[in-house]
């Protein structure tokens, strides 16, 4: 694979991740229990510190699975993957690109 192909693939991945982040934020705004506060958070800000509770995680997981046609395995349903917009987006990007 040549250098321009690698650059192009990296750019396409960045666009995908940015688009996923917008959709993840929308889901969080609706299902996380912290509403519009999500808009103000930096990508790495803790959703837990912002007020998301564990029960809301269940709603977020279900909404993510429906939105992206993915399924989280039981081992993935721990606090860390759902700590921030960035961490959720990374997990979803891996799952979507792994199809």
Q: Distance between CA 24 and CA 85 in Å, rounded?
A: 7
- Check residue 34 and give its pLDDT: 96
- Residue 97 pLDDT exceeds 60: yes
CATH of the domain at 34: 1.10.1200.10
Local confidence band at 54 (pLDDT 50, 70, 90 cut-offs): confident
Q: Distance between CA 99 and CA 89 in Å, rounded?
A: 16
Q: Please check whether residue 74 is in contact with residue 58, taking contact to mean a CB–CB distance below 8 angstroms.
A: no
Q: The domain containing residue 37 runs over which residues?
A: 3-97
Q: How many structural domains comprise the chain? A: 1
């Amino acid at each position: 694979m040549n250098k321009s192909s690698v650059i192009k693939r990296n750019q396409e991945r960045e666009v995908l991740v940015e688009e996923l982040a917008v959709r993840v934020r929308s889901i969080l705004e609706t299902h996380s229990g912290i509403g519009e506060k999500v808009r103000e958070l930096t990508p790495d800000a803790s959703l837990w510190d912002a007020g998301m509770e564990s029960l809301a995680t269940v709603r977020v997981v279900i909404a993510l699975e429906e939105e992206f046609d993915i399924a989280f395995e039981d081992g993935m349903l721990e606090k860390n993957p759902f700590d921030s917009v960035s961490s959720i987006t990374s997990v979803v990007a891996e799952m979507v690109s792994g199809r």
